[in-house]
Amino acid sequence: MSRAIAAAGPNGITKGQLKGFVGFSNLPNQHHRRSIKRGFSFTLMVVGEAGLGKSTLVNTLFETSLYPERKVTLTTDLQKPLEIQQISA
């Protein structure tokens, strides 16, 4: 609720002129404006299997790269021989 504040009169009552609608229906708009001015924090949890696009979703929501590209290094154990099993029905 914003008001233009004037000096107090002889009876101690401050008179002002309202600069917009004031009421219960305007509370969400007032809260939104106050949150944008002050800033806010929240917690977001995204879960799922690897490769489903969780990081892509978060980066797209915030239009920035919160999670940088990961470089996956593949290692193979060369000490074990490769075994191929054939399964038939």
Rounded CA separation 15/19 (Å): 13
* Whether 3 contacts 19, CB under 8 Å: yes
pLDDT in tens, 15-71: 777 777 777 888 888 888 888 898 888 888 889 888 888 888 888 888 887 766 767
> Which of 75, 70, 77 is CA-nearest to residue 50?
70
SS3 82: coil
* Whether 3 contacts 16, CB under 8 Å: yes
The whole-model pTM stands at: 0.38
